[in-house]
Structure 1
Amino acid sequence: MRQTWRWFGPGDLVSVDDMLQAGVEGVVSALHHVPTGTVWTPEAIAGRKREIATRRDGTPSGIAWEVVESLPVSEAIKKQTGDFREHVENYKVSLANLKAAGIETVCYNFMPVLDWTRTDLAFRVAHGGTAMRFDVVDFAAFDIFILQRPGAAADFPQAVGAEAERRFATMDDAQKTALARNVVFGLPGAAEHFSLDDVRAHLAEYGAIDEDRLRRNFVDFLSEVAPLAEELGIRLCCHPDDPPFPLLGLPRIMSTEAQYKTVMEAVDLSANGITLCSGSLGVRPDNDLPGMMQRLGARVHFLHLRNTTREGDGLPCSFYEAEHLGGDTDMVALAAAALAEEKRRRAAGRADASIPFRPDHGQDILDDLSRKAQPGYPAIGRLKGLAELRGVIRGLEFSQAATASG
């Protein structure tokens, strides 16, 4: 398993030098400043590669850009409106440019309107550090009373709606503004940041798009780009919905094993693959992460290893970002399943036998609390997670080697 680290570019408060000290082997990055739907040019790609390859003092870093996260899919493509055909062609050009630059793994998602969604970006946990959290009552308060989405109240259990009304009544203007900002925060460093009016406009356009329609649009997109990716030798890997349940009345189509299986079978090419994110998928108690790795592993091109703790039964539910070996996902079992898949790949002679993973998200601890890097992407919290995961993986590898030799 290849150890990678997400980097948001020169504005990231966790530097290339920091990554080197963490001992990572490769870098996950993107051109966040490029507007969605436009071409990633060879010059822009080369510029990001140079930044990653250079330390603060100008000497070579020795690490390279290995995984793209994300090459975003435009809302026009998801809805099949406006300039979506041009955006699909631009996506294909960008894939070709990435391959020419030697980058072969491309993560993306097909979530409508918002990327990941949280209500609190600095929730205080028991040890005094902070973590990102999704509070279903706060989200209901946002949806029903701040966004004022028609029909929103019917999407929540009656008890949640009643508590949301009580909680909203106690919020001052600053608290309401902070909640709205957190919900629409989107991807750190992205070119697009939505206002409430932007969100309302997008929701109106999704009014006629249900789960089946969105899935058809997704399959149409994959039918265009996956054959080219296969030809180029690029591995596309779709990130799951985060959280993995419907929000804002929008459909979710990549939240369960069955949904992934449907899309993989609809465009049955090895290039059409999976980003298995244990944090996102693990929020659902019906998702068996080690089992998914075993059953879908041949198409898993990228791993996000993080953990979440559910705070209630049923869906939607509240949850927060746990420590990497804490939470509701058995990370040891998942790592063992990933190592078993790598063994199968080596036996089959696959060139991609080593699966890249990154310690996704992390709690802000120690100096992270004053550094205030991108929410979810602290230096020390992720380093702690990577060290723990590295120990688990090495221990499993040692155990397997001992069993094989004994």
Structure 2
Amino acid sequence: MKEVVSDVVVIGAGPAGAVVSALLVQRGWSVNVVERQEFPRFSIGESLLPQCMEFLEAANMLDAVKAAGFQFKNGAAFEWDGARTAFDFTEKFSPGHGTTFQVQRGRFDKILADEAQKQGAQIHYRHTILEADISADGARLLAECGGEQVVFRGRFVLDASGFGRVLPRLLELDRPSQFPMRESVFTHVQDNISDAHFDRDKILITVHPQQRDIWYWLIPFSGGRASLGVVGERDKIVAMGDEPEQILRNAVAAAPELAKVLRDAEFDTPVQRISGYSSDVSTLTGPGFALLGNAGEFLDPVFSSGVTIAMKSAELAAGCLHRQLSGEPVDWQADFAAPLKHGVDVFKTYVTAWYDGRFQDVIFYQTEQQEIKRMICSILAGYAWDKNNPFVAVAERRLNALVEICSAD
């Protein structure tokens, strides 16, 4: 049986896997990446946040992304029953990048994986992991490719398998998410948008006119295409139709302003649906392993936080692992899990408040206080780890105070 040995084994070649691999090989460590699929492949999570640019820059991947011709993005627009508002990420409170891109993930993820390979990471596509034997002394992963079995050995394993959730499944780390069972129905369209008021430089998030816990994304791409999706609790989505395309068309028709924007759109790609995607785990790290991005916890697509959390986890894990492989003691709970969880919990606060209506009230509040808007803008731009921002440092308390102000008028 073939054996492949390296310092680190990374499961998954998506954004978290590619970035952490690049950061580790830059520090001189050997990395093998085990990827179940062949790239490019379809994935959602297409509207990046500016915070991602910092991680891409550190991984020496930003120039390649900029050269790819992706749709420029400078903010987020919101619409609900005729009420509109927008956030310009260049006007945020936190320092750092204020613009980013909206990307077809198949091509974007392939670019990152290729850049990681160019820097020295070895990526093994079409390998499915069957078994995992991991301890503080090292790891043995049994994989299968084309009917042949391969053993990957390493001193440490980083699981960046996303929704595949390889180690949570094999090591029985999964636990139920606190979020209700929601479903997403989505596709890519030739949008043919002619509305002069539509801003292709921003993601458009539309709230259902009557049911505020149902919302839509419209993510413009370069070349006149766009990603379109609707999200809601499963029973409400199912009530919209029998087939995915019927559900999505009926959902758009129920939101007049969105239907107007998309009146000439061509549905030329099969419509897909996923449900029960929110996830959690009992631990993010253990002897010999750590979970990155969606392999650990996935919240909800509403604020496009998934790729940002994935890359932040990659940055933190690379720093911890470099020190550990160099012989230094590392407290993974204090140095990786706790700081990562702080930002995740900030996003969780605002996701929860979005669905119960509190954060929507804030977003559509007509009398804006510019300094507060800049702080909220920073969170929407992905800067959920900037504790200089009061709405990050004490997220729940600050948000509730802001909700009271908005409700008093």
TM-score past 0.5 threshold: no
TM-score category by the smaller chain? under 0.3
Q: Which has the higher contact order (CA 8 A, sep 6+)?
A: 2
If the length of structure 1 is used for normalisation, what is the TM-score? 0.27
TM-score (structure 2 length as normaliser): 0.27
